[in-house]
Amino acid sequence: MAKKVFVIEDDRDIRETIVYVLEEEGFEVRSSESSKLLKSVDTEKPDIILLDNWLTEWKSDANGQQLSKELKSNPATSHIPVIIISAVSNVKEIAEAGLADAFLMKPFDVNELISLVNKFTA
Amino acid sequence: MNSQQLLEILCLSRNATAIYTTENTVIEFANDAMINFWGKDRSVIGKTLAEAVPELQGQPFLDILRNVWLTGTTYTDSNTPAELLIDGKLETFYFDFEYRAIKHPSGEMHCILHTAVDVTEEVLHQQQMSDAQQREKDLTDELAAINEELSASNEELLATNEELKESYDNLQLLNQSLAENEAWFRGMVQQAPVAIAVLDGRDLIIDTANSYILDIWGKDASVIDKPLSVALPELEGQPFLQLLDDVYTTGIPFYGSETKASLVRNGKLEHAYFNFVYHPLKDGSGNTMSVMVIATEVTEQINARREIEKSEHRLNRMVMTSPIGMTILKGRELIIEIANENMLTIWNRDVDQVTGKRLLEIFPELIGQPFPDMLQRVFDTGQPFGMDETTADVAMPDGSIVKYHLDFSYDPLFDADGNVEAILATVNDITDRVHSRRQILHEQERGRMAADAAQLGTFDMDLVKGTLDWDERCRTLFGVSHSNPVTYEYDFVMGLHPDDRERVIQVINLSFNKAASDGNYDVEYRTVGFEDGKLRWVSAKGKVFFDENDKPQRFLGIVLDITDKKEDEQRKNDFIAMVSHELKTPLTSLKAYTQVLQAKALKNNDNFTAAALDKSLLQVNKMNTLIKGFLDVARLESGKINLDIEEFNLNNLIKEAIEEAEITLDSHNIVLEDDCPVNINADREKIGQVLNNLISNATKYSPRGSNILITCQHQQSSVLVSVKDEGIGIKPADMERLFDRFYRVSSPHTKTIAGFGIGLYLCSEILRYHKGRIWVDSEISKGTTFSFELPLT
């Protein structure tokens, strides 16, 4: 059975590319431009979550880190790997503070994306 | 003895004596001592006293004498001032005197016996004693006691006189005529208010001794008829017996002044001082029959004088040794009696230039200044007067005026009558102190102005008293508008933002630990205004001062409102994040699409497309590097560079950097010459960035096919990495500015070379953050070597 990936990324082009690449790799991908997708975590039970750190809905308040922290602090969801994606150069710190399992700095390498997702869903 | 002899004796007596008759006070007799008092000569005998001593007119004496004559009542007084014309000058003398009414047995007045002792000196002594303030009070009391004793003895004397008069009256009945003179003489001896004794023969048998001399001797009447040497055995070994014998044998009187005698009185040997006369009494043929002794004890006066001298000496010593300026100004004339060294220093005068001179004569510049009036007021009121920190202009001998800052006090010195006789002026020159305090105030003012200009608030915490002082600006930072006292617990701690409270208290406690912090305090925190609820950012710096036991005593410092700076910082960070996002987002999708396309092309064996997309990817990466560089600079400017320190192998990092360069460039021959397999603690990514930058620069500025040599040397406490090229080299003028931001070397060679001039600036900043350094050696047309050094710890 294919692994299920949640992709939350507000830039349509980036989101579509990620979805395309991961589907090519055989993943089942659910994607959204909004964090509302996370409301279905309990029912959908994704195997991994890719989370953009700065979503348009948050305006200037970059808070992917906070979202990740909530997921990782909740016993029901803490087992789900979270990868934070961001353009800021301190993405590593943001990911660590958000208790995320890994990070990808934009512009990321497609091969790196594939290998990270593979690694955390193996 | 006849009356002529008696008059002779009275003539010689040092006690002034005169005899007056009639209501008009005709001078029947006056001895030299009395004539001296009057300042006249023997021609006054036979004149009325008013004629002889006209200056007595207007003084009470003539009336008193007339009254004595008319009433037959003896008049006695002491310490009485009398104005007498001496050498044409009217002078004041003080006398103890008696106008004794001597009557005929019939009760009619016979004559007035006037005896007087000049006590001017004693009175003046007494006055001086009063001047010598409290210390002399005891002495004055003692003198008063003695005076009491004296008046008691006077009373005794009067009683005795009464008795004598009775016996005299009885005697008169028996021997009306002849015995009259003898009795009169004895009466005179007994009545004389001085000690008199008559010693008969060479054995000095005591023939007559009045109560005064018995008192002096400390004996009673039982000594009468005994030889002096038996009556007063203690005289053995003292000069008096010999002196008396000399008077007896030579017939020449002897006068003694303030002579010390040791006498057994009240059962113990006492030392006393006397003025005395040994006068030979001769018979009709000129042979000395007996010696008359007239003595006045002056022990008290001498002691008093010594005491006064001692206390005067003490006062003078006190003045002279005082560490501050002191002078005694006598009388309203302000005569400088004495001035100590410090006073002379202030005056800039020698002791001889001022002593005995009038103050205002030496310092006329004081006229018009308030001091003369103040001094006169002390004379008027008898109240001490003083002022702190007043100024006085004093003229120096060269005429220049020096302005002194002084503390001074004027203390009155009183005479016996309670009048101010002199002023003890105490002057402390505080000019230096005032100047230095002004200097400090000036500095403080400057400090305050500087703090004000820098918009700094200040706080000052007294850790001993537990008080806290905030200036207005500091209060503003905590949203406090009142000026009431503030406390550490309620105003400071509670004014801190709850999220910062614990951290700031920790920092303060660390500052209070001398060993840990040396008292330095440097912290940023947020406050929530008490009154306005406003959030403010504060940068606080301070210093804790410790006592010798390293216990904190005082905590001083400044606070600065950095709210605007913090808000700017936040805006800048937001902007950087926004730019990162906005620039990198299109690049991200571009790169992803390119990679997807490339994968498809490779799958379809479309090698041309794959190679073209490869080049596109290279450009995307280049673009990304440029954006990253800009963002790094922006972050540097806002101090937002955080080092991610980890331990790694430097050799491996260098090798990776070389490999990465070789992937993109095959134009140069990059060689790692020396390697150093050392592990260092640093930010791996950023040191990698430095290496990439240096290698990239080397390839840009050196010809294709040339060598780039990389060396790594492990030194004692650091590691040294060099990147050497065989390129065009750098001019010395450029080398200095090479590491400046946005600096680009401009030359025909470099025009075509891409870059913004931020690479080396970033490298130097990264090394600075690592406490390392970077530098360059270069030679035109030969090549350039960039080196950097990283500390190993």
The answer to whether the beta carbons of residues B336 and B356 sit under 8 Å apart is yes
Banded pLDDT at B524 (limits 50, 70, 90): very high
Residue A50 main-chain phi, psi, to 5 deg: -100, 125
Q: Does position B401 have pLDDT exceeding 90, yes or no?
A: no
| B650-664 vs B684-700: helix crossing angle, rounded to 10 | 40
Q: Which of B182-186, B278-282, B312-316, B598-602 has the lowest mean pLDDT?
A: B182-186
So what's the pLDDT on residue B38?
85
Q: Is A93 on the interface with B (CB under 8 A)?
A: yes
SS3 assignment, position B483: coil
So what's the pLDDT on residue A60?
46
* Domain ranges for chain A: 4-121
State both tokens at A95.
């990911």
CA distance A43 to chain B (A): 30
CATH number of B323-434: 3.30.450.20
Contact B592/A89, CB-based, under 8 Å?
Answer: no
Q: Does position B140 have pLDDT exceeding 80, yes or no?
A: no
Tell me how far apart the alpha carbons of residues B501 and B488 are, in angstroms, rounded to a whole number.
12
Residue B588 has its nearest CB partner, among A60, A90, A106, at A106
Which DSSP string do the residues of B48-88 spell out, in sequence order? BHHHHSGGGTTSTHHHHHHHHHHH---EEEEEEEEEEEETT
CATH number of A4-121: 3.40.50.2300
CA distance A67 to chain B (A): 18
Q: Does position B127 have pLDDT exceeding 80, yes or no?
A: no
How many cross-chain Cβ pairs, A to B, lie less than 8 Å apart? 66
The amino acid occupying position A81 is: P
Contact B580/A88, CB-based, under 8 Å?
Answer: yes
Q: Does position A62 have pLDDT exceeding 60, yes or no?
A: no
The answer to whether the beta carbons of residues A62 and B577 sit under 8 Å apart is yes
∠ CA B345-B321-B369, nearest 5°, is: 40
Contact B642/A111, CB-based, under 8 Å?
Answer: no
* Segment 50-89 of chain A within 8 Å of chain B by CB: 54, 60, 62, 87-89
On the question of a common fold for B3-129+145-171 and B645-791, the answer reads: no
The answer to whether the beta carbons of residues B199 and B280 sit under 8 Å apart is no
Banded pLDDT at B320 (limits 50, 70, 90): confident
Q: Count Cβ atoms within 10 A of the Cβ of residue B439 and give its class: 0-12 exposed, 13-18 middle, 19 or more buried.
A: exposed
Q: Does position A89 have pLDDT exceeding 60, yes or no?
A: yes
Tell me how far apart the alpha carbons of residues B296 and B257 are, in angstroms, rounded to a whole number.
10
Condensed to tens digits (0 to 9), the pLDDT of residues B243-255 reads 999 999 998 888 8
What integer best gives the mean pLDDT of chain B?
A: 83
So what's the pLDDT on residue B682?
92
Give the H or E element holding residue B342.
helix B341-347
CATH of B3-129+145-171, one of 3.30.420.40, 3.30.450.20, 3.40.50.2300, 3.40.228.10: 3.30.450.20
Which residue shows structure tokens 């050094």?
B789
∠ CA B31-B37-B42, nearest 5°, is: 45
Q: Does position B170 have pLDDT exceeding 80, yes or no?
A: no
Mean pLDDT of the A113-117 span: 94
* Segment 102-121 of chain A within 8 Å of chain B by CB: 106-111
**Pairing relation of β-strands B783-791 and B773-779?**
antiparallel
Banded pLDDT at B177 (limits 50, 70, 90): very low
CA distance A1 to chain B (A): 25
Paired residues of B731 in beta bridges: none
Banded pLDDT at B5 (limits 50, 70, 90): low
CATH number of B194-303: 3.30.450.20
So what's the pLDDT on residue B21?
86
Contact A89/B624, CB-based, under 8 Å?
Answer: no
Q: Does position B359 have pLDDT exceeding 80, yes or no?
A: yes
| Short-list B740, B767, B759, CA closest to B643 | B767
Residue A87 has its nearest CB partner, among B581, B595, B644, at B581
∠ CA B677-B679-B683, nearest 5°, is: 130
So what's the pLDDT on residue B486?
92
Residues of B in contact with A111 (CB under 8 A): 595
Contact B584/A107, CB-based, under 8 Å?
Answer: yes
Q: What is the DSSP letter of B280?
A: E
Contact A17/B577, CB-based, under 8 Å?
Answer: no
Contact A17/B592, CB-based, under 8 Å?
Answer: yes
The domain over range B645-791 is classified in CATH as 3.90.1300.10: no
Residue B434 main-chain phi, psi, to 5 deg: -65, -45
Percentage of residues of chain B with pLDDT beyond 70: 87
Q: What is the DSSP letter of B94?
A: E
Q: What is the DSSP letter of B495?
A: G
Condensed to tens digits (0 to 9), the pLDDT of residues B414-449 reads 876 778 888 989 888 888 878 877 877 777 777 777
Tell me how far apart the alpha carbons of residues B162 and B165 are, in angstroms, rounded to a whole number.
5
pTM value is 0.41
Q: Count Cβ atoms within 10 A of the Cβ of residue B122 and give its class: 0-12 exposed, 13-18 middle, 19 or more buried.
A: buried
Mean pLDDT of the B14-23 span: 83
Contact B642/A109, CB-based, under 8 Å?
Answer: no
Mean pLDDT of the B121-136 span: 65
List the single best residue of B570, B580, B641 to mutate versus A (max A Cβ within 10 A): B580
Which chain B residue has its CA at the smallest distance from A20's CA? B596
Residues of A in contact with B584 (CB under 8 A): 87, 106-107
| Short-list B767, B786, B768, CA closest to B776 | B786
Residue B80 main-chain phi, psi, to 5 deg: -95, 125
Residue B580 has its nearest CB partner, among A89, A93, A110, at A89
Q: Does position B28 have pLDDT exceeding 70, yes or no?
A: yes
The amino acid occupying position B355 is: T
Tell me how far apart the alpha carbons of residues A37 and A17 are, in angstroms, rounded to a whole number.
18
Q: Does position B210 have pLDDT exceeding 50, yes or no?
A: yes
The amino acid occupying position B186 is: R
Residues of A in contact with B591 (CB under 8 A): 107-110
| Short-list B726, B713, B723, B708, CA closest to B671 | B708
Q: Does position B394 have pLDDT exceeding 50, yes or no?
A: yes
Condensed to tens digits (0 to 9), the pLDDT of residues B553-568 reads 888 888 999 988 888 8
| B563-603 vs A12-24: helix crossing angle, rounded to 10 | 40
Condensed to tens digits (0 to 9), the pLDDT of residues B618-648 reads 888 888 888 887 777 777 766 667 788 889 9
| Short-list B677, B680, B678, B676, CA closest to B647 | B680
Contact B574/A14, CB-based, under 8 Å?
Answer: no
Banded pLDDT at A84 (limits 50, 70, 90): very high
Paired residues of B774 in beta bridges: B788
Banded pLDDT at B144 (limits 50, 70, 90): low
The number of residues making up chain A comes to 122
Q: Does position B750 have pLDDT exceeding 70, yes or no?
A: no
The answer to whether the beta carbons of residues B760 and B690 sit under 8 Å apart is no
So what's the pLDDT on residue B526?
92
Residues of A in contact with B599 (CB under 8 A): 110
The amino acid occupying position B661 is: A
* Domain ranges for chain B: 3-129+145-171, 194-303, 323-434, 454-561, 567-637, 645-791
The answer to whether the beta carbons of residues B741 and B758 sit under 8 Å apart is yes
CATH class of B454-561: alpha beta
Condensed to tens digits (0 to 9), the pLDDT of residues B647-687 reads 999 999 999 888 888 877 778 888 888 778 888 999 998 89
SS3 assignment, position B271: strand
Q: What is the DSSP letter of B383?
A: -
From residue B331, alpha-carbon distances to B83, B126, B337, B356, B415 in Å are: 21, 17, 10, 12, 11
Q: How far is CA B678 from the centre of its chain?
A: 67
Residues of A in contact with B632 (CB under 8 A): 89
Banded pLDDT at B179 (limits 50, 70, 90): very low
SS3 assignment, position A3: coil
Residues of B in contact with A109 (CB under 8 A): 591, 595
List the single best residue of A31, A88, A103 to mutate versus B (max B Cβ within 10 A): A88
Q: Does position B729 have pLDDT exceeding 70, yes or no?
A: yes
**Pairing relation of β-strands B89-103 and B109-118?**
antiparallel
Condensed to tens digits (0 to 9), the pLDDT of residues B453-491 reads 777 888 989 888 889 999 888 999 999 999 899 999 889
The amino acid occupying position B146 is: I
Tell me how far apart the alpha carbons of residues B365 and B526 are, in angstroms, rounded to a whole number.
63
Q: Does position B578 have pLDDT exceeding 70, yes or no?
A: yes
Tell me how far apart the alpha carbons of residues B86 and B502 are, in angstroms, rounded to a whole number.
97
